[in-house]
Amino acid sequence: MYKRQTFLTNETGLHARPAAEFAALAKSFQSKITIARRAQGSEAVNAKSILSILAQGFTKNTPIEICAEGPDEEAAVNALVTLIRTEFVKH
């Protein structure tokens, strides 16, 4: 298992388009990937599910943790953290 913590910095958090981009990138990896608020008692949800992500209401400045388990876990988490830190801007 590999996990990292970060903050959502883009203005809309993980709503609509960013959630779709996040889930699409997560789906490109074989590992099981979850995302959760970094708060006690927060539920980790499937990062490959747009609906699960949207239901969490992740907004700007939300502290989150991305966790993956599987053959490409480190690459998956690092790619998702990079997507968030670049505010969903493709380079």
Q: Which residue has the tokens 């990896």?
A: 29
The CATH number that domain 2-85 falls under is 3.30.1340.10
pLDDT in tens, 27-60: 999 999 999 999 877 899 999 999 999 999 999 9
Q: Which residue type occupies 31?
A: S
Asked about 15 being catalytic, the answer comes back as yes
Q: Which one of the listed residues 4, 15, 32, 37 is annotated catalytic? A: 15
Res. 70 pLDDT band, cuts 50 70 90:
very high
Mean pLDDT of all residues belonging to the chain: 94
State the Cα–Cα distance between residues 5 and 17, nearest whole angstrom. 22
Task: Please report, rounded to a whole number, the percentage of residues in the chain having pLDDT higher than 90.
Answer: 87
Assess whether pLDDT exceeds 70 at residue 91.
no
Tokens of 74: 């480190």
Length of the chain: 91
Structure tokens of 56? 């969490």
User: Residue 89's pLDDT band (boundaries 50, 70, 90)?
Assistant: confident
